[in-house]
């Protein structure tokens, strides 16, 4: 039984509707999925409504956080599973992040417009719809204008942090985010710890510190991770005694990744459920 514990829908920067996402999961032979749209729980009711009876569903979100290391801010993504979506402190923070994403997305578009790139604020807003604005929405606008062929190409060019249009996204400190998730009854897991900048700082010492603050696990099997990182992370996790997850970080057609490309076993799902307060249940067949 395989579970893909990190997928995105059109409620953030994926391209699948809830129904399409469930269909993709079933077609891949998955027993279940977790949907973790960035900075929002807006899709939760729709995911529950679209869930086929045989598919297990875990609802969560993915938060962008930072860790200060050697005087620099390093970006670390945090998966939050099975928390209470009405927890006031978390709701406030999600609202703030969404406002900041809108301002930041529009600031990136303004820079492009000022440089003569033929896209518009309205175009990006139409593409994002009700979702928190992310760079993939801008990437799709660039695609619509035939300026790039894929969203990945946009990330390598126009949307690159090293490029002239990049604007920093606001986030929260990792330890604050872990607190927020735990206080909402949820289960915090570091997403793709060896991806990009995070790779430099996700050593055993720091992971132990984060676990002391309430971190429950780390994503080990992820498309960004090579064999050496996976082995190292697995060793660290077994020494510390934390959860190890596997997941594809599926974004529909925004990323060249198949749903279920990486996955977790049923015992990981059971462990996530056991660590949560139970206010948000795992939906579907018990495994």
Residue in 63, 191, 207, 236 binding Fe ion, rule: CB under 5 A: 191
Residues 92-151 that bind Fe ion (CB under 5 A): none
Binding stretches for ligand AMP (CB under 6 A): 13, 38, 134-136, 151-152, 155, 169, 251, 254-255
Spatial contact of 236 and 177, defined as CB atoms under 8 Å apart: no
Least distance (Å) from ligand AMP to the CB of residue 200? 18
Which residue lies nearest Fe ion, judged by its C-beta? 77
254 contacts which partner out of Fe ion, Zn ion, ligand AMP, none, CB within 5 to 8 A by kind? ligand AMP
The DSSP call for residue 252 is G
Residue 249 near Zn ion by CB under 5 A: yes
CA distance 154 to 140: 8
Q: Which is nearer to Zn ion, 219 or 229 (CB)?
A: 219
Q: Which is nearer to Fe ion, 31 or 39 (CB)?
A: 39
Cβ-closest residue to Zn ion?
249
- Pick between residue 91 and residue 107 the one whose CB is nearest to ligand AMP: 107
Q: How far is the CB of 9 from ligand AMP (least distance, A)?
A: 12
Count of Cβ atoms closer than 10 Å to residue 2 Cβ: 17
DSSP-derived secondary structure for 197-246:
GGGGT--HHHHHHHHHTT--EEEEE-TT--HHHHHHHHHHHHHHT-EEEE
User: How far apart, in Å, are the Cα atoms of 214 and each of 186, 222, 236, 264?
Assistant: 10, 22, 16, 21
Q: Positive or negative, the Cα torsion across 230, 234, 240, 246? A: positive
- Residue 150, phi then psi, degrees to nearest 5: -140, 165
Tell me if residue 37 falls in helix, strand or coil.
coil
Give the nearest distance from C-beta 279 to ligand AMP in angstroms: 26
Q: Identify which of residues 8 and 104 has a Cβ nearer to Zn ion in the complex.
A: 8
Establish if 13 lies at the interface with Fe ion (CB under 5 A).
yes
Residues 56-95 that bind Fe ion (CB under 5 A): 77
Cα 252 to the center of its chain, rounded Å: 13
- Binders of Fe ion among residues 204 to 263 (CB under 5 A) are none
Site membership for Zn ion, residue 37 (CB under 5 A) = no
Spell out the residues 6+ positions from residue 86 whose beta carbon is closer than 8 angstroms to its own.
none
Residue ranges binding Fe ion (CB under 5 A): 13, 77, 191
Residue ranges binding Zn ion (CB under 5 A): 62, 249
């Amino acid at each position: 039984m395989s579970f893909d514990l990190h997928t995105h829908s059109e409620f953030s920067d994926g391209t699948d509707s809830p129904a399409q996402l469930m269909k993709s999961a079933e077609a891949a032979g998955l027993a279940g999925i977790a949907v973790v749209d960035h900075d929002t729980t807006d899709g939760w009711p729709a995911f529950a409504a679209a869930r086929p009876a045989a598919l297990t569903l875990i609802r969560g979100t993915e938060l962008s956080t930072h860790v200060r290391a050697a005087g620099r801010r390093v970006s670390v993504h945090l998966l939050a599973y099975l928390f209470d979506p009405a927890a006031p402190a978390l709701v406030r923070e999600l609202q703030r992040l969404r406002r900041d994403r809108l301002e930041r997305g529009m600031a990136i578009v303004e820079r492009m417009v000022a440089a003569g790139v033929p896209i518009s604020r309205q175009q990006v807003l139409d593409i994002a719809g009700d979702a928190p604005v992310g760079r993939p929405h801008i990437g799709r606008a660039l695609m619509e204008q035939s300026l790039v062929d894929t969203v990945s190409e946009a990330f390598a060019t126009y949307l690159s942090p090293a490029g002239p249009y990049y604007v920093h996204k606001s986030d929260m400190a990792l330890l604050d985010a872990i607190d927020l998730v735990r206080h909402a009854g949820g289960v915090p897991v570091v997403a793709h710890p060896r991806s990009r900048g995070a790779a430099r700082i996700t050593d055993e010492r720091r992971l132990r510190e984060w676990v002391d603050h309430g971190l429950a696990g780390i994503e080990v099997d992820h498309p960004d991770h090579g064999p050496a990182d996976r082995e190292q992370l697995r060793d660290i996790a077994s020494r510390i005694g934390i959860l190890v997850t596997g997941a594809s970080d599926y974004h529909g057609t925004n990323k060249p990744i198949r749903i279920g490309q990486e996955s977790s076993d049923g015992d990981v799902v059971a462990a996530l459920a056991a660590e949560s307060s139970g206010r948000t249940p795992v939906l579907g067949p018990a495994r």
